[in-house]
Amino acid sequence: MNMKRNGDWMEWTIHEEWTKIPLQELLKTTLRAPKALLHEWRMNKQVKVNDENPNWMKPLQVGDKLSIELFEKETDPVICEKHPIDILFEDDHVIILNKPIQMNTHPNEKGETGTLANALAYYYQKNRKKIKTRHVHRLDKDTSGAVVFAKHRLAHSILNQDLIERKMKRTYVAIVHGKMKKITGTINAPIGRDRHHPVRRRVSKAGQQAITHYEVINYCKELDCTVVKLTLDTGRTHQIRVHLSSIGHPIMGDKLYGSKNGHIKRQALHAENVTFIHPITGEKLEIHAPFPNDIKNLLSTC
């Protein structure tokens, strides 16, 4: 695909496969622009063909230049706060950060600071980029690892849909108490709120469907713990923590869900890998997030 950025615009040179349907249908089905965004583009004249306002019902021709004003200058309500960030991947459309522990992914109320989004907002400001911080997914405060942010509305919409359709794959590593008997397995148990606790979740017949797949990586006899790799078919709050606790193997350090010892000061859970199709280029991306020191130290014991 021949494409390039030109200021606030993204430009595509049209090839034969993009000439068979009207422009409006091309933007909707091939570029996957949502209806509301398409309407804005049309009203604000943010789509051009050969630098002119196009006929939206007419197919494009081979060699035409399609231009879309993707990179709007935006005001972000998230407060800028200086804090180092660990960038795993960045281009004009997506940025992926390795979230540290003791940090929320984004503010939960107006004016909140101390989150990964605050640090990203500062990074944007420092680099004179007027971009809103748009997280695609989030991690618990004390879960470390890869978090994906989109840099414009089209990328955000596409990645959100891919997340819903489970086309974005996230792999976690956890260190749990005890020796898991099965090398691989699936935990299929609905999760709901715990009526007796404001934060905790629990397995509940009245809860939402939740499916977690696991694979044992290693058993550590010295600490009587198992290193396990996990993927999710659903994205419920505290899903991995609840599911592992429900089968008698709470995550080390996770006092909320049954951990008793002090080998680590938070739940030993890390979002190690995220794999997805780039929303604009179509390239397959597989991004790895290195372990933080506390999990490295635990693993070194094994």
pLDDT band at 235 (very low <50, low <70, confident <90, very high): confident
**pLDDT value of position 50:** 97
Fold designation for 3-68: 3.10.290
Q: Indicate if the alpha-carbon torsion angle 88, 172, 239, 209 is positive or negative.
A: positive
242-257 average pLDDT score = 95
CATH topology of domain 171-271: Pseudouridine synthase (3.30.2350)
Structure tokens at 302: 């094994």
Beta carbons within 10 angstroms of residue 265's beta carbon? 12
**pLDDT, tens digit (0-9, with 9 covering 90-100), for 290-299:** 999 999 998 8
Cβ distance 27 to 33 under 8 Å?
yes
| Res 46: pLDDT | 98
Q: Taking 70 as the threshold, does the pLDDT of residue 276 lie above it? A: yes
pLDDT tens, residue by residue, 39-70? 999 999 999 999 999 999 999 999 999 999 99
Can you give the length of the chain in residues?
A: 302
Cβ-in-10-Å burial (0-12, 13-18, 19+) of 119 comes to buried
For 169-209, the pLDDT digits (tens) are 999 999 999 999 999 999 999 999 998 898 999 999 999 99
Q: Has residue 1 got a pLDDT over 70?
A: no
Residues that are catalytic: 140
Domain locations in the chain as residue ranges: 3-68, 171-271
Average pLDDT value over all residues in the chain: 95
What's the mean pLDDT in 84-108? 97
Distance CA 298, CA 292 (A): 10
| 300 pLDDT more than 90 | no
Q: pLDDT over 70 for what percent of the chain?
A: 99
Nearest-angstrom CA–CA distance, 249 and 253: 12
Contact 115, 123 (CB under 8 A): no
